[in-house]
Amino acid sequence: MPAACDSRVPGAATAATPGDAAGIAAGIAAAAPARIDRQFIASHQIIERYLSGRLPLKGAQEFERFCREHPELLDEIGLSEHIHAALRLLESGGRTPPWEERPKRWWEKLLNLPVMAGLAGLCVVLAATTLVSAGRLSAQHRRADSLTRRLAAQPLNAPETTRSITLIPSRTAPMRQSLATIGGANAQMDDLKIDLSWAKFASYRVSIDRIGQGRVAVLRGLQRDSNGDLRIDLNSSALGPGDYQLSIDGLSWRGNPVAQAWATITIVH
């Protein structure tokens, strides 16, 4: 053994400091193959350093070369036992052996070819659906804008005829049944006579609501004629087709509304 090696081997293995790494590599390279033995390897912890990757590159190459030339050394130093012990440690720690494939994480599974192909197909389908929906929505917006402009620009038609209609409203609750149908192919002026001969108020308010949509108009301060009828003259082209509910409220001397009667009419064009 070289002198440097003999001074470090008192008969038991000792750990070399990081500063001795270069000396160990030089010792392995300078020693003759016949003089490298189990005592040298054990005293410098060559096996432990080699397996942990702490052995310098030159020293690792010399150790590998020596093992190729003296394969019986592998049995002498108990390399198989070291490997089996390391595998038992891996198994105890829940790690897979080096030759087994490591379990893939969820995001790694998503990167395989079939899944990527499926995701690409799904993206294509979603893109096509989005384009079709956008096209339909754009067409609906254009149609709505056209109808809005048409409604805003459409003038009232001059009535060609005049008709008088008497309505007997309900005194108990709003009614769904229409009392009269107004309009037709030609516009007409309808004189609505709402019978309130039984009511006790001098002034009334009439609210007109399109059923299922919203309020159209509110007429305030209406008074009955000598026959007790509340009269409203209506151009049939002023309102769109549909059912309209008329709510009649009596106004107290303070102007507070008090529900009196309800009537429903239908307008057609």
Condensed to tens digits (0 to 9), the pLDDT of residues 195-210 reads 999 999 999 999 999 9
224-243 residues labelled b (16+ CB within 10 A) or e (exposed): beeeebbebebbbbebeeeb
Task: Please check whether residues 17 and 42 belong to one and the same domain.
Answer: yes
H or E stretch at 107: helix 106-109
Residue with tokens 């192919």: 185
Q: Which helix (H) or strand (E) holds 210?
A: strand 203-210
Asked whether residue 9 falls in the same domain as residue 83, the answer is yes
Give the whole-angstrom CA distance, residue 204 versus residue 232: 12
Q: In which band, very low, low, confident or very high, does the pLDDT at 265 lie, cut at 50, 70 and 90?
A: very high
The domain in which residue 175 lies consists of 161-268
The pairing of beta strand 203-210 with beta strand 242-251: antiparallel
Q: Same structural domain for residues 86 and 135?
A: no
Domain edge (last residue) among 69, 92, 115: 92
Lowest mean pLDDT among 3-7, 93-97, 139-143: 3-7
> Of 77, 92, 107, at which residue does a domain stop?
92
In a domain, 110, yes or no: no
One domain, residues 77 and 141: no
Domain assignment present for residue 98? The answer is no
Lowest mean pLDDT among 98-112, 178-192, 215-229: 98-112
Amino acid at 151: L
Is residue 209, in this structure, part of any structural domain at all?
yes
Whether 250 and 200 share a structural domain: yes
Give the count of domains, the chain: 3
Q: Which tens digit of pLDDT belongs to each residue from 36-82?
A: 666 777 788 777 787 777 878 887 888 788 788 877 777 776 677 77
Q: pTM of the prediction?
A: 0.44
> Which domain-ending residue is among 37, 66, 92?
92
Residues 72 and 146 in one domain: no
> Is 97 inside any structural domain?
no
